[in-house]
Amino acid sequence: MKKLLFTTFLAVLLFGCQEKAKEKTEDKEMAKAAPDTPEEHWTVLFDGTSFDGWHEYLQEGVSENWKIEDGAMVFYPPKDRKKRQSFNLISDKEYTDFTLSLEWRIAEAGNSGFFWGIKEMEDLRQPYETGPEIQVLDNDKHPDGKNGTNHQAGALYDMVSPSQDVTKPVGEWNLCELTINHKTNTGIVVLNDVEIVNFPVNDPEWGEMVAKSKFADWEHFAKYTTGKIGIQDHGDGVSFRNIKIKEL
């Protein structure tokens, strides 16, 4: 009887070990088959410690008008600005389909923005001559906030208005995500966890939107599906931090 019980115990123990080994094998196979976690796809564009990967438009490096403070890139507008001089920041790399995530904080009565699809050309002095813009604005105190909702914070500038104003008070950080996906013909702006703008990015719909905007007769505007990311100098103080991108 004792021998039978012992034999049964060994059989149960062996079966249990086999099942655990099987589970481990299945877990390993699932891990191999499972896609990478979303976080693994993100590339940091600004880590809060240096301007590596950035330069000023049509320039080399970054001027002293941009500072790094408390993990953010902070723009201090120059007191004496030469004619046609600007200090827009541009990524070194180009992107096509992506989700761009960043936080922005605008000065009181300030105006700024960020671009995509930028091409640097010597005869084009500003990134907005090629790159469409997502607006960054103090909606309450900057005049552009009263110049149509498609000029307010989060708008696809002069083309698509935000569905609602979800900006935080001036002095607080706003989290914004921009998705541009030509494969799905989708452009999305999510501001402070609320989707506020949705638009097509391919022709003919895209071309029709541009044709109804102030950019209708601009030769190079929004013509490039692949281009650089840009941060705008609009003459006002602005800060950006936690900038990262996920290519799609």
Q: Are residues 17 and 91 in the same domain?
A: no
Give the pairing type, strands 54-56 and 133-137.
unpaired
Q: Are residues 26 and 126 in the same domain?
A: no
Burial (0-12, 13-18, 19+ Cβ within 10 Å), 157:
buried
Q: Domain residues for 27?
A: 1-34
Q: Which CATH number covers residue 180? A: 2.60.120.560
pLDDT classification of 81: cutoffs 50, 70, 90: confident
Q: How far is CA 244 from CA 12, 71, 148, in A?
A: 53, 14, 30
Q: Are residues 12 and 70 in the same domain?
A: no
Q: What is the pLDDT of residues 199-217, one digit of tens each?
A: 999 999 999 999 999 999 9
Calculate what percentage of the chain has a pLDDT beyond 90: 80
pLDDT exceeds 80 at position 196 = yes
Q: How many domains does the chain have?
A: 2
Q: Are residues 90 and 209 in the same domain?
A: yes
Q: Are residues 25 and 61 in the same domain?
A: no
Span 130-150, average pLDDT:
96
Q: Are residues 54 and 92 in the same domain?
A: yes
Q: Are residues 59 and 30 in the same domain?
A: no
Q: Are residues 159 and 89 in the same domain?
A: yes
